[in-house]
Amino acid sequence: MTEYVVRFLVGGAVVSAFAMLGDVLRPKSFAGLFGAAPSVALATLGIAIYQHGAAYAGSQSLSMMAGAIALAVYSVVVCHLLVRARMQALPATALSLVVWLTAAFGLWSLAGAQT
């Protein structure tokens, strides 16, 4: 239970800091970049370092980066299917899930997947 309280407090503080940074930056479209995901990732890595050590947190950060790259690939494919191929949203996103899964698991295995 203590881990969840620490994650809540640290995550909340970092979310607030990122929100203030996003509020200061121009254009306002950058504010979304500094939302909850980076702060939750930082809080999770901090807890991982504390509980399991730097090596474990390093492997977790590689997995996070692989997931971010896979999401970017998925987003590009969806945009391409929506704009260039003029597909509707549901088929484009459903078809792109295969691309996302392939990219995510491929990068995860390259990053040295641990179970």
Q: What is the pLDDT of residues 18-65, one digit of tens each?
A: 777 777 776 666 666 666 566 677 778 888 898 899 999 888 888 888
pLDDT tops 90 at residue 82: yes
Spatial CA neighbour of 45 closest among 24, 59, 28: 59
Q: Which residue has the higher pLDDT, 59 or 72?
A: 72
What pLDDT digit, counting tens, does each position of 105-114 carry? 999 888 766 5
pTM of the model: 0.68
Give residues with Cβ within 8 angstroms of 40, minimum separation 6.
Answer: 11, 14, 15
Instruction: Output the average pLDDT for the chain.
Output: 82
Spatial CA neighbour of 43 closest among 2, 71, 70, 4: 4
Region 66-82 average pLDDT: 93
